[in-house]
Amino acid sequence: MRKFLFILLAVMTLLACNNANTGKTGGEPGAIFYTEYDTPFGMPPFDRISFEDYKPAFLKGMEEEAKEIEAIANNSETPTFENTIVAMENSGRILTRVSRVFYGLRSAETNDSIQALAVELSPLLSEHRDNINLNEKLFNRIKTLHDDTTGMNLNTEQYRVLDNYYKNFVRSGILLSEAEKSRLREINKELSSLTLAFGNNLLNETNDFKLVIDNEEDLAGLPEGVIAAAAEAANAAGEEGKWVFGLQKPSWLPFLQYSEKRDLREKLYKAMYMRGDNDNKNDNKQIINDIVNLRIEKAQMLGYKTHADFVLEESMAKTPENVYKLLNDVWAYALPQAKKEAAELQKLIDAEGGNFKLASWDWWYYTEKLRQQKYSLNEEEIKPYFKMENVREGVFEVANRLYGLNFRKLENVPVYHPEVEAYEVLDADGSHLAVFYTDYFPRTGKNAGAWMSSFRGQQVIEGENIRPLIYNVGNFTRPTGTTPSLLTLDEVETLFHEFGHALHGMMSNVTYSSVAGTSVSRDFVELPSQIMEHWAFHPEVLKLYAKHYQTGEVIPDELIAKIDAASKFNMGFITTEFVAAALLDMDYHTQNTVKSFDVREFEKKSMEKIGLIDEIIPRYRSTYFSHIFSGGYSAGYYAYLWAEVLDADAFQAFVENGIFDKTTAAKFRDNVLSKGNSDDPMELYKRFRGAEPNPVYLLKNRGFIE
């Protein structure tokens, strides 16, 4: 649930390997982006793209799109769907092409030059976007079409595309006075710089801290694989012969789970949760103040009470009230469960003669012990069955059994880093469906977390169905010199999750790019991803892919039973830390008065109000809550839980008909996975399931009710 999906190009970031320059033939800088790539499947030619290409291509891309938009706005012919909406859909191709590569790399393989260029481009792009969104002549053409569609014979998708354009203009401020419009431009520019600064500070804070261990005794309790990874991290950091732990999750989490050194757990965990809150040059508190206040000002200028009202209008949830209702309903089950869990952990501490009160940096350690006591489930015993390559084969096999897809490894195609792998995805009838890239290991220069996005989206241009180039990026456990990448259960779940987003992108089959693939509302977009998590640990599916990396032995029934029995374990904690963060997000964004505030105090009050216990902190504290302050999830973090109402209910259809039932799968593909945003999401869902989702399956799924 902590996983990201980049929906908005504008919020994405990334890097091109510094490689790139060698062997490149001359040519005008940037020109590589001016035409379709002459590569297999039109994959970006990373081997021929260099840093020097980006800026000229962005400038040219903006210039070209501005010209195209002017031509549409000044067209002397009567507005038609074709000469206005379709023309807009087809505009800005250079800018789209360079943006997808640049921002893709800014997230997955960045460097200082890329970071700096992103900062430089941000206000320019924001202004460019505003120049389009505040173009009155253009809007008047769209309004003419929108006001009276009789005789236009629009199909559902076309009407929705037209309506989206109209609403987008209104929501971007086209109906404001000139003075307000100019203030809005300022706000947008500031917001885009502030959200970027937030992310950069967080990346610095994450990379700057290192827990260096030089005394072997301080490794007590840590599994061998974790120690080996820490030794390699030390080598990479120039600390040969020592062990280094950092603030990327694959590093801090196992340390918290297994380290017997309570003081070191505390040190590492505090460093993690104080990111952006250290009163240094990377502090995010003033930035949060500025972002929240500018969002209030903007929302109210546009006629909304709060930023949340503005955002949620375009979601399935529609209003802050509906969001609070879902979150509070689930909270009522989660908090009491978390308190029970805390009491159990305290008992364990007391039984060991530990003379202290459970603290947040103890939770994982004692949870791991309790998990072993209760289920004799040791993650280290399980990991050998989850070699990354086997898990990836597993998710491909699921896609094959459900939808008939086949994955063919592509060799000698351009990728942006040697660890990236690419596949051609073939549909059931053997036709080309998409290209799929995987990039699964953490590196300096890669953002934390996991996400899906694309180097090219799906659309139909002049009758030709352009197929997408989709990628998944993750930060999973690296292979070491002696063992392959062995994934934790959490990482397995994440891999399946992101693959679900990838399917949504790959199976897209609409006409217009603006409604293709994952371009749906945030509380709907997690349905295709979260439903995949249900397959990850299903016994029938485990038997297909969970094979011991050394012996090839299929995971034994006894281990499957343990995984199943333990699947609801710690669910009070997991739900509580999630809902706490989602409520924090809503509390920030339902404020209706611009005023400066103390971030620590705000967060404290927000958590006191719901009675969060000291032993748990929100999944994201404010100063590193990048989903809401530098990603596209403000007033939207709840979306994962909202979508779980959908995914739990949707998977129930497979439980009822068989988890590989082809008819159910076809219905899901035809009504959800292929439809993008070409129709109302609840309508799409009802066509698949025959009814609105029943929230009871979410509560069952989390073990809160029988």
Nearest distance from C-beta of residue 310 to Zn ion, angstroms:
23
Nearest distance from C-beta of residue 104 to Zn ion, angstroms:
17
Closer of 1 and 132 to Zn ion (Cβ): 1
Nearest distance from C-beta of residue 403 to Zn ion, angstroms:
19
Question: What track of x and - describes contact with Zn ion for positions 328 through 367 (by CB under 5 A)?
Answer: ----------------------------------------
Closer of 61 and 693 to Zn ion (Cβ): 693
Size of the residue set binding Zn ion (CB under 5 A) = 4
Question: What track of x and - describes contact with Zn ion for positions 516 through 535 (by CB under 5 A)?
Answer: ----------x--x------
3-state secondary structure of 351: helix
| Residue 597: count of CB within 10 angstroms of its CB | 16
Closer of 122 and 529 to Zn ion (Cβ): 529
Could you give the CA distance from residue 421 to residue 117 in angstroms, rounded to a whole number? Answer: 27
In the range 45-74, which residues lie near Zn ion by CB under 5 A? none
Closer of 5 and 15 to Zn ion (Cβ): 5
Nearest distance from C-beta of residue 681 to Zn ion, angstroms:
15
Closer of 5 and 574 to Zn ion (Cβ): 5
Indicate the pairing of strand 432-439 with strand 469-473.
Answer: parallel
Catalytic site residue 70?
no
Matching residue, tokens 């500031």: 190
Strand partners for 454: 470
Collect contacts of 401-410 with beta carbons under 8 A, ≥24 apart. Answer: 401/660, 402/660, 402/662, 402/665, 403/428, 403/503, 403/507, 403/665, 403/666, 403/669, 404/428, 404/429, 405/433, 407/436, 410/40, 410/435
Give burial (CB, 10 Å; 0-12/13-18/19+) of 213. Answer: buried
Could you give the CA distance from residue 253 to residue 269 in angstroms, rounded to a whole number? Answer: 9
Could you give the angle at the alpha carbon of 663 between the alpha carbons of 564 and 507, nearest 5°? Answer: 85
Give, as one character, the DSSP assignment of residue 31: G
Collect contacts of 643-646 with beta carbons under 8 A, ≥24 apart. Answer: 643/523, 643/524, 643/525, 643/526, 643/527, 643/529, 643/530, 644/526, 644/530, 644/698, 644/701, 645/326, 645/693, 645/695, 645/697, 645/698, 646/524, 646/527, 646/685, 646/693
Give, as one character, the DSSP assignment of residue 427: -
Matching residue, tokens 């354009």: 165
Could you give the CA distance from residue 64 to residue 195 in angstroms, rounded to a whole number? Answer: 27
Nearest distance from C-beta of residue 530 to Zn ion, angstroms:
7
Nearest distance from C-beta of residue 640 to Zn ion, angstroms:
7
Question: What track of x and - describes contact with Zn ion for positions 168 through 207 (by CB under 5 A)?
Answer: ----------------------------------------
Candidate list 3, 242, 265, 669; residue touching Zn ion; CB under 5 A: 3
Q: Answer positive or negative: Cα dihedral of 263, 450, 129, 35.
A: positive
**Tokens in use for 676?**
């993008």
User: Which region, judged by CB under 5 A, interacts with Zn ion, from 1-9, 33-41, 49-57, 395-403?
Assistant: 1-9
Nearest distance from C-beta of residue 472 to Zn ion, angstroms:
11
Which of 498, 526, 533, 615 is an active site residue? 498
Residues 6+ apart with CB under 8 A from 147: none
CB crowding 282-299: b at 16 or more within 10 Å, else e: bbbbebbbbbbbbbbebb
Closer of 496 and 629 to Zn ion (Cβ): 496
Nearest distance from C-beta of residue 473 to Zn ion, angstroms:
12
Nearest distance from C-beta of residue 643 to Zn ion, angstroms:
8
Question: What track of x and - describes contact with Zn ion for positions 4 through 43 (by CB under 5 A)?
Answer: -x--------------------------------------
3-state secondary structure of 298: helix
Closer of 477 and 529 to Zn ion (Cβ): 529
Question: What track of x and - describes contact with Zn ion for positions 246 through 285 (by CB under 5 A)?
Answer: ----------------------------------------
Based on the shown chain and the rule CB under 5 A, indicate whether residue 652 belongs to the binding site for Zn ion: no
The DSSP secondary structure of 590-621, one letter per residue, reads T--S-----HHHHHHHHHHHHT--TT---SS-
Matching residue, tokens 């998990």: 371
Question: What track of x and - describes contact with Zn ion for positions 383 through 422 (by CB under 5 A)?
Answer: ----------------------------------------
Indicate the pairing of strand 421-426 with strand 432-439.
Answer: antiparallel
Give, as one character, the DSSP assignment of residue 424: E
Question: What track of x and - describes contact with Zn ion for positions 68 through 107 (by CB under 5 A)?
Answer: ----------------------------------------
Report the amino acid identity of residue 595: K
CA dihedral 304, 307, 309, 313 (to 10 degrees): 100
Nearest distance from C-beta of residue 4 to Zn ion, angstroms:
7
CB 370 within 8 A of CB 349: no
Nearest distance from C-beta of residue 5 to Zn ion, angstroms:
4
Please report, as ranges, the residues that interact with Zn ion according to CB under 5 A: 3, 5, 526, 529
Known catalytic residues?
498
